[in-house]
Structure 1
């Protein structure tokens, strides 16, 4: 998967010649266990570029990989919202958000066979829907082995990331799964459209 070969195209769409006014816009970046190294590196690159463009990253504190959305965002000095299932998860120190009952309830709806409330699943909902379900991410970027982007695409390989994908579907948040061959092209087009809309709004 030649994701890194698409860096120049993404850079042109994210940073472009026209000024970006994405400050305040949030995206959700989720890293699944087993994500291939080239995809993880691309996530870090994307995190850096989106931070430079003014996007806020909403993600979890994963320590399975050194290079993630968070690593790239941090290098760029970008804004970040960290969501943990509980305080001190994975040894994380510093400010973090915790899932609320509304997030856990939606996660339970997604996983009808869930034996009890899951804060881990709830935080995936929170990354998409935001505090009190009131500040949705503009888009979700993730990776699963099967390329799932909606409930109809779900397979046994989708894993726990499906919770975030299902929440995105519920709240009409676009999903970009980096396993799909055309994801970078679609994401670049989406970012370009979002930039154009912001520019138009700022001049009207």
Structure 2
């Protein structure tokens, strides 16, 4: 990730260039002189950025998730020290795998096949004689007498998390939580490793899944595979989905949207839509429970409790739209509406998934083209937040949606 000075670029910016100056979500709010020296201002920015990430600021997270390893950060400082250095550091630390990363899952009792670290529950005596611990000893390099930590060599390696003490008495939950925290720290420090977790603490130690699984929420989820029974605890769902689509969708697609809305409502889902014609109306026709986000009161003659776009939603849209500052006031509000459609009224409750239709079948930011139309921003925002997109222009969209929901297709 390079840092470039806009004064040195002229009109020939690289295709992957991202302006991070003031006026953008990643701009430095601190000014040299007023707020300290250059070094002090950058230090304050680094603290500010970490606080925004920790607090899940939607605009900052959206902007950070839009960066790539080959992005060029453009500022007005380089080669002088610059706040873009803090952006690069934060991206490397927090955003290599996106914002809301859903982990992989495997059948309970299976073993890793691709060199992942085998993570198992142990005792502090390091006696690996039963259950997953015996598997770790036999096949993944667990050493007798070692009750916690990383052992072995790739691809036969493992990590022990103690759930019992030296006398094989079950440890209290707070001590297991502390050990899980140490595992999460180790996993974060080893970005090249992937981890295959057993039902740590839920076998011989006797804890229930709902007590143990949430302890692992702080692990690098993108590099972990968890036992399938833990999914419900590691992926809490908002039970809301976004419905959207390009204009002039074919009539069969509109009818399909209505049927999808009916079935999802029967499963307890709430629709989020934008109060538009065609596709929005088709989704709305299939359900009573819905959140209709309007860009302004009276849009399309509609009445809704969600009839305004927050300033924060506009900043989120600015982080995604490539030419936001050139949009008209009305177009900005329409873009901001998409922030609410995907992230909710508070911008902190992401939809579980997006169902849409565009002629090109785009399902991620990299696939967006001219034919994607006005649905592009919703797709890009969902992609940045690791929200699954099911584009009905693809023949397998309904099958994949059914699999994600865990219901039979059809």
Common topology (TM > 0.5): yes
CA deviation vs aligned residue, 1:63-116 (integer Å, no higher than 9, x gap): 346961100013xxxx11010000110000242342212221121222222314
1-structure distance, mates of 2:281, 2:253: 10
2-structure distance, mates of 1:147, 1:50: 22
Would you say 1:176 and 2:390 are equivalent positions? yes
2:314 corresponding residue in structure 1: 104
More deviation, 64-73/114-123: 64-73
Q: CA deviation at 1:57?
A: 0.6
| Unmatched runs of 5 consecutive residues or more in structure 2 | 1-235
CA deviation vs aligned residue, 1:113-138 (integer Å, no higher than 9, x gap): 23146010111121111123211100
Q: CA deviation at 1:24?
A: 5.5
| Unmatched runs of 5 consecutive residues or more in structure 1 | 1-21, 194-204
Contact 1:149 1:175 in 2 (8 A): yes
1:4 corresponding residue in structure 2: none
CA deviation vs aligned residue, 1:1-29 (integer Å, no higher than 9, x gap): xxxxxxxxxxxxxxxxxxxxx99610001
2-structure distance, mates of 1:65, 1:30: 6
Query: Number of residues paired by the alignment?
Result: 168
1-structure distance, mates of 2:391, 2:279: 18
Q: CA deviation at 1:169?
A: 1.1
Matches within 5 A, 1:1-204: 25-64=239-278, 68-74=282-288, 79-114=289-324, 115-116=326-327, 118-192=332-406
2-structure distance, mates of 1:52, 1:39: 20
- Larger % of helix: which? 1
**RMSD of the TM alignment (CA)?**
2.1
- TM-aligned CA distance change 1:24 to 1:156, over 3 Å: closer
2-structure distance, mates of 1:39, 1:178: 7
Contact 2:249 2:279 in 1 (8 A): no
1-structure distance, mates of 2:241, 2:388: 10
Contact 1:43 1:67 in 2 (8 A): no
After superposing on structure 2, the runs of 4+ consecutive aligned residues of structure 1 that deviate more than 6 Å are none
2:36 corresponding residue in structure 1: none
Q: CA deviation at 1:171?
A: 1.3
1-structure distance, mates of 2:242, 2:279: 17
- Larger % of strand: which? 2
2-structure distance, mates of 1:122, 1:94: 16
SS at match of 1:185: helix
User: Structure 1 length as normaliser, TM-score?
Assistant: 0.76
